[in-house]
Amino acid sequence: MLNYFEPNKIFSITSKAPKYILFIFIIVISVGLLEALVISPEDYIQSDSVRIMYVHVPSAWIALGTFSIIAILSVITLVFNNKFFPLIVKSLAPSGLVFNVIALVTGSIWGKPTWGTWWAWDARITSMLILALFYLMYILAWRIFEDREQVNKITSWIAIIGLINVPIIKFSVDWWSTLHQPASINLLSKTSIHPSMLVPLTIMTAAFALFSLLIFLMKYNTELIKVKNKGLDRL
């Protein structure tokens, strides 16, 4: 099954996918922006500033999800010495970092009118900043180290160690007294967010996920072309 990830085989699929994903993304983001900016109501406390939630929350989710995928594939790479997954996780990291930075910036913008400050060393915010640093270390390791086996091991361990931070981000608002509000969406209990806000949030999350996939495929296809051209870069 893993043979399907061989560069020559998978490129025939991934090279055609971006244009279709871009088309779907444009439709979904258009609907999402209409719902988020026009149809969804103001918050009775935060007024229109709450609308930044529709960018902030999906970005944070995607940053966390992407890093989790990178870490899981890194474990498989180490345990089974898989030679195809390193190229995938290398291509996932840039989109994860982009959404991590978006989450931090939009959180700062949202925090100014809500908390009265652009930045606070809050547990949730600080742990998200640490995640961004792990992303940076991961990406830089790919650029610094030349030996393929060495870089695979180093980046895999960076991802695995960084995975420890993911549950800290998730449960930081429960474990410590923080400025950040508790989670409004919980899979194990009743969601506290109103459907009029949950619908646009869901649509925007889908749109951002598609955009993340688009960034990944563009990077992945570039890496596959380098491999096909033999010797221009390592896996």
pLDDT given at position 209: 96
Query: Residue 126 and residue 169: Cα distance in Å, rounded?
Result: 9
8 A C-beta contact, residue 163 and residue 71: yes
Which among 225, 218, 220 is positioned nearest to 22, based on CA atoms? Answer: 218
**Residue 231, helix vs strand vs coil:** coil
In a domain, 146, yes or no: yes
The residue behind tokens 């779907």 is 24
- Domain range for residue 134? 55-228
Instruction: Please state at what angle helix 165-175 crosses helix 123-144, rounded to 10 degrees.
Output: 170
Is 41 part of a structural domain of the chain? no
**CB burial class (10 A; 0-12, 13-18, 19+) of residue 116?**
exposed
Conformational region of residue 177, where left means phi above 0, alpha means psi within -120 to 50, and beta covers everything else: beta
Residue 14 lies in a domain: no
- The domain total for the chain is 1
User: Is 165:120 a contact under the CB 8 Å cutoff?
Assistant: no
Q: Which burial class, exposed, middle or buried, applies to 60 when counting CB atoms under 10 A from its CB (0-12, 13-18, 19+)?
A: buried
Number of H helices, E strands in the chain: 8, 0
Q: From residue 15, how far is each of 70, 71, 96, 216, 235 by CA, in Å? A: 22, 25, 21, 12, 18
- Is residue 38 in a domain? no
In a domain, residue 40? The reply is no
What is the pLDDT, as a whole number, of residue 60? 93
Q: Is residue 50 part of a domain?
A: no
Residue 112 in any domain: the answer is yes
> What pLDDT score does 217 carry?
93
**Residue-wise pLDDT tens for the chain (235 aa)?**
555 566 667 777 788 889 999 999 999 999 999 998 888 877 666 666 778 889 999 999 999 999 999 999 999 988 888 788 888 999 999 999 999 999 999 988 877 777 777 777 888 888 999 999 999 999 999 999 888 888 999 999 999 999 999 988 887 766 666 666 666 666 555 666 778 888 999 999 999 999 999 999 999 988 888 877 765 444 4
In a domain, 196, yes or no: yes
pLDDT at site 5? 62
> How many Å apart are CA 162 and CA 159, to the nearest integer?
5
| C-alpha span between 215 and 221 (Å, rounded) | 10
> What are the tokens at 222?
């570039």
Q: What is the pLDDT of residue 234?
A: 45
The distance of Cα 192 from the centroid of its chain, to the nearest Å, equals: 24
pTM across the whole model: 0.86
Q: What is the DSSP letter of 160?
A: H
